[in-house]
């Protein structure tokens, strides 16, 4: 039965709605899938801390996510760990050479099939929740972190399947951007969050920003929690949250709203 539903879902998997359906399906049936992410970098130290705390640590400890960091200098065929060189045509800034990247990529691809080879770059497609949802359904992913002026374009043409930017600004390397992407994907894997449904109600999951949240005390310095949240009436609370989500989205990110104002 599970297989049938899985096949049905994968047929319509190209739409955002079906992605969400697949996420729901996996979270509610608790279909834990071990995901493997291989990250190619010249600065593995930069990535050790982000993956050794909080949710990513839990994901790894629960065997839901494997993260493998590969120092490009360890496998480069060039002497003294060389991985970059001057760019043809002149100009400031070094370029990551094709050979060290190709050697490492082929080494990894010999052992398993990868669903995506992602290159982190400011000229890639802007990362969003839809892409995170989509990537969280994959099994094996390689992420290449660029440095210096970037990587030789032939690697982009012949190995890379997806180019991702986390925003319209330039970081000194792709590592911090890769950490953002892995975190956004990792928390969507079933079993990583303790409240299994909460990832589905994040900002952006329904095309809207999340509503405001409150905790105790109900009266803090005379500032009151909205009455409705203390009413114990789930219908009223849901309706209030939806209205607040719409209001926030209209005020802060009107571009997220479709023409009918309801979000995706």
Q: Which positions from 105 to 124 touch ligand ADE by CB under 6 A, shown as an x/- string?
A: ---------------xxx--
| 165 part of the interface to ligand ADE, by CB under 6 A | yes
Instruction: Give 118 or 137: the residue with its C-beta nearer to ligand ADE.
Output: 118
Q: Which positions from 143 to 162 touch ligand ADE by CB under 6 A, shown as an x/- string?
A: ---x----------------
CB of 167 to ligand ADE, least distance (A): 5
Residue 100 makes CB contacts below 8 A (sequence gap 6+) with: 72, 73, 75, 76, 77, 78, 82, 83
Q: Which positions from 70 to 109 touch ligand ADE by CB under 6 A, shown as an x/- string?
A: ----------------------------------------
Helices (H), the chain: 2-11, 16-28, 44-48, 54-61, 72-75, 98-111, 129-136, 153-158, 175-186, 234-252
Instruction: Give 184 or 208: the residue with its C-beta nearer to ligand ADE.
Output: 184
CB-based contact 264:206 (threshold 8 Å): yes
Instruction: Give 152 or 244: the residue with its C-beta nearer to ligand ADE.
Output: 152
Q: Name the closest residue to ligand ADE (Cβ).
A: 177
Q: Which positions from 167 to 186 touch ligand ADE by CB under 6 A, shown as an x/- string?
A: x-xxx--x--x---------
Task: Select from 51-59, 67-75, 164-172, 183-191 the region that touches ligand ADE (CB under 6 A).
Answer: 164-172
Among residues 29, 36, 12, 43, the alpha carbon closest in space to that of 185 is found at 36
CB of 86 to ligand ADE, least distance (A): 20
| Separation between Cα atoms, residue 131 and residue 174, nearest integer Å | 17
CB of 176 to ligand ADE, least distance (A): 8
Among residues 104, 63, 246, 223, the alpha carbon closest in space to that of 96 is found at 104
Which residues, 27 to 66, sit near ligand ADE by CB under 6 A?
none
Size of the site for ligand ADE (CB under 6 A): 12
CB of 41 to ligand ADE, least distance (A): 12
10 Å CB burial of residue 20 (0-12, 13-18, 19+) is: middle
| Separation between Cα atoms, residue 120 and residue 173, nearest integer Å | 9
- Helices 16-28 and 129-136: crossing angle, nearest 10°? 50
| Separation between Cα atoms, residue 233 and residue 240, nearest integer Å | 11
- Residues in contact with ligand ADE by the rule CB under 6 A: 120-122, 146, 165-167, 169-171, 174, 177
């Amino acid at each position: 039965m599970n297989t049938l539903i899985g096949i049905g879902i994968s047929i319509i998997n190209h739409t955002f709605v079906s992605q969400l359906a697949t996420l729901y399906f996996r979270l509610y049936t608790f279909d834990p899938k071990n995901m493997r992410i291989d990250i190619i970098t010249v600065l593995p130290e930069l990535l050790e801390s982000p993956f050794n705390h909080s949710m990513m640590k839990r994901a790894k400890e629960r065997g839901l996510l494997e993260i493998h960091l590969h120092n490009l200098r360890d496998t480069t065929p060039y002497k003294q760990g060389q991985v970059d060189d001057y760019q043809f045509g002149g100009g400031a800034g070094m370029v990551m050479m094709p050979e060290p990247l190709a050697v490492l990529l082929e080494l990894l691809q010999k052992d398993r099939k990868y669903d995506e080879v992602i290159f982190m770059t400011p000229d890639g497609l802007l990362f969003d929740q839809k892409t995170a949802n989509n990537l969280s359904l994959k099994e094996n992913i390689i992420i290449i972190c660029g440095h210096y002026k970037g990587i030789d374009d032939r690697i982009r043409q012949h190995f890379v399947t997806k180019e991702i930017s986390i925003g319209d600004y330039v970081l000194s390397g792709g590592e911090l951007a890769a950490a953002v992407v892995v975190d956004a994907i990792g928390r969507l894997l079933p079993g990583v969050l303790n409240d299994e449904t909460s990832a589905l109600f994040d900002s952006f999951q329904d095309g809207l920003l999340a509503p405001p949240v409150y905790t105790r005390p109900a009266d803090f310095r005379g500032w009151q929690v909205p009455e409705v949240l203390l009413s114990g009436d789930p219908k009223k609370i849901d309706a209030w949250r939806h209205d607040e989500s719409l209001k926030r989205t209209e005020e802060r990110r009107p571009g997220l709203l479709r023409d009918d104002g309801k979000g995706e």
